[in-house]
Chain A
């Protein structure tokens, strides 16, 4: 048995990869330790749809035997259950899909494996990645939601069941759960990560994204999955930057505070965001202020997402409406009533709003706002998507990092948003903020 100062489940992606590369930890030892932890915690947290024990252990043993594949060699990951993983069902929280076994990995998962990652299993999604409450519980407080729709990915990373996971965001489904459970969530630019093999909800705003416990780990995951995919017509051919090199603190960033979002935050969350900004300014960050039009951004996102979701689900809903969960069913039925001209106006308005936000990005490196309007609410909801959805609408890269706890000891997040394909700038600014604010801590019940 190898030795390390930390228990295996406490290792970040970077630490785990380094420990495996230097022989201090075997990939099989790490996979076994995490599966044992999942088995122990899962009855409380319900973060997993399936843990692929035999295959994960076999792949980990193979990693110990074979030459190093890449930067994630031997690192276990979780995959949201709307991403195809060969040999496992992509059930999307929809009972009729329980036997819908994927015959190939989606591009993002194939790229993770090519970088050496070991797929531990599939994590819980809300049904079709919409907003019906999941069974998953928040590791910080079981009476609170972990957020959604990437509920299991967030909870599993926060509870140290796995150091990294994939999720997806159409409204706020990466950044919101990440903030609610106190981890790092990254939603790259639209087109940066292939959507091939990922179940659609609203195609022009669906984004694969990542969960991790550090900004550097987010960069490692993004590095593995980013890049052009000829099989996804919306995937960008732009070259991929060196994200791991970028994800180090540089000079203090110039941040544009989005005041009209800040004003919508709950009082305690707003006060803590102000304190966070003060701390960053004292450390050297330069602050400017802007008002991008929160009401327009929120409303346009809502119309566009609902219309596309209704189109995506039109045929399945016609056959199996009674099998749908209540909210997604009503959402699809309401979306079917949106007029074509309103959907097209939403697309046109998106262009207007992009120009408006790009003008603000000329004033700084990143936009900054609270990730969430308040801490995680009760388990009958997945929370408020209005602080994250606008940047899904605009296709811009966004990241959340832990930004302290509220008065009840629940995590809050700091959201940074960059220019299209400016992931390197966003990661560098986030790494600087992470250093100044301190890393996120584990939930007290799951150290």
Chain B
């Protein structure tokens, strides 16, 4: 059902590092790479997540807790 592209974590990391080089320079991009794969992996999973009707009317709160 999802028709969005599902990039691999490696592809997301490569894209992130390339944008980091342009924004912050080579040294900072390498510092960002050293943070590890957890955020790129999360971004890759989100890109293929089935979110259905899950809007978030109040995302200041954790999960919309009352």
Chain A residues in contact with chain B, CB under 8 A?
189-191, 203-205, 233-234, 236, 238, 295-296, 298-303, 306, 326-327, 329-331, 333-334, 336-338, 342, 344-352, 354-355, 386, 392-395, 420-421
Q: Which chain A residues lie closer than 8 Å to B51 at the CB level?
A: 345, 348-349, 352
Contact A330 B32 (CB under 8 A): yes
Question: Cβ of B1 < 8 Å from any Cβ of A?
Answer: no
Closest to B31 in A: A330
In the complex, A366→B53 CA distance in Å? Answer: 27
Contact A348 B54 (CB under 8 A): yes
Contact B45 A299 (CB under 8 A): yes
In the complex, A191→B61 CA distance in Å? Answer: 8
- Given A299-B45, A300-B46, A352-B51, A190–B65 Cβ distance below 8 Å? yes
- Closest Cβ of chain B to A305, distance in Å, is 9
- Closest Cβ of chain A to B25, distance in Å, is 10
Chain B residues in contact with chain A, CB under 8 A?
16, 19-20, 23-24, 28, 31-32, 34-35, 38-39, 41-47, 49-52, 54-56, 59-66
Contact A352 B32 (CB under 8 A): no
- Closest Cβ of chain A to B29, distance in Å, is 9
Q: Which chain B residues lie closer than 8 Å to A330 at the CB level?
A: 28, 31-32, 34-35
- Closest Cβ of chain B to A146, distance in Å, is 21
Contact A351 B63 (CB under 8 A): yes
- Given A300-B42, A349-B54, A352-B49, A394–B35 Cβ distance below 8 Å? no
Please give 14 more A-B residue pairs, beta carbons under 8 A apart, in addition to A205-B62, A233-B60.
Answer: A190-B63, A236-B66, A299-B46, A302-B39, A303-B46, A326-B31, A330-B34, A334-B16, A336-B23, A344-B59, A349-B51, A351-B64, A392-B62, A395-B61
**What are 16 residue pairs bridging A and B, where the CB atoms are less than 8 Å apart in the complex?**
A191-B62, A299-B43, A306-B39, A329-B31, A333-B20, A334-B20, A334-B32, A334-B39, A338-B43, A346-B42, A348-B51, A349-B46, A350-B63, A351-B55, A393-B62, A395-B65
- Given A203-B60, A234-B61, A302–B54 Cβ distance below 8 Å? no
Partner of A342, one of B34, B46, B56: B46
Partner of A204, one of B50, B54, B61: B61
Closest to B35 in A: A330
- Given A190-B61, A342-B43, A351–B56 Cβ distance below 8 Å? yes
In the complex, A295→B44 CA distance in Å? Answer: 11
Contact A327 B52 (CB under 8 A): no
Contact B56 A348 (CB under 8 A): yes
Partner of A345, one of B34, B38, B41, B46: B46
Q: Which chain B residues lie closer than 8 Å to A190 at the CB level?
A: 61-63, 65
Closest to B22 in A: A337
Closest to B52 in A: A352
Q: Which chain A residues lie closer than 8 Å to B38 at the CB level?
A: 298-299, 302, 386
> Interface centre among B16, B60, B61, by most A CB within 10 Å?
B61
Q: Which chain A residues lie closer than 8 Å to B20 at the CB level?
A: 333-334, 337
- Closest Cβ of chain B to A394, distance in Å, is 6
Contact A395 B62 (CB under 8 A): yes
In the complex, A233→B61 CA distance in Å? Answer: 9
Q: Which chain A residues lie closer than 8 Å to B54 at the CB level?
A: 348-349, 351-352, 355
- Closest Cβ of chain A to B8, distance in Å, is 13
Q: Which chain A residues lie closer than 8 Å to B47 at the CB level?
A: 342, 345
- Closest Cβ of chain A to B42, distance in Å, is 3
Q: Which chain B residues lie closer than 8 Å to A238 at the CB level?
A: 66
In the complex, A48→B38 CA distance in Å? Answer: 31
- Closest Cβ of chain A to B27, distance in Å, is 10
Closest to B55 in A: A348
Contact B46 A395 (CB under 8 A): no
Q: Which chain A residues lie closer than 8 Å to B64 at the CB level?
A: 351, 354
- Given A191-B62, A350-B63, A337–B46 Cβ distance below 8 Å? no
Q: Which chain B residues lie closer than 8 Å to A295 at the CB level?
A: 41, 45
Contact A296 B49 (CB under 8 A): yes
- Given A329-B31, A333-B28, A337-B19, A349–B49 Cβ distance below 8 Å? yes
In the complex, A350→B16 CA distance in Å? Answer: 23
In the complex, A394→B56 CA distance in Å? Answer: 13
- Closest Cβ of chain B to A384, distance in Å, is 10
- Closest Cβ of chain B to A362, distance in Å, is 17
Q: Which chain A residues lie closer than 8 Å to B60 at the CB level?
A: 203-204, 233-234
In the complex, A338→B13 CA distance in Å? Answer: 12
In the complex, A344→B54 CA distance in Å? Answer: 11
Q: Which chain B residues lie closer than 8 Å to A329 at the CB level?
A: 31
- Closest Cβ of chain A to B44, distance in Å, is 8
> Interface centre among A234, A334, A345, A354, by most B CB within 10 Å?
A334
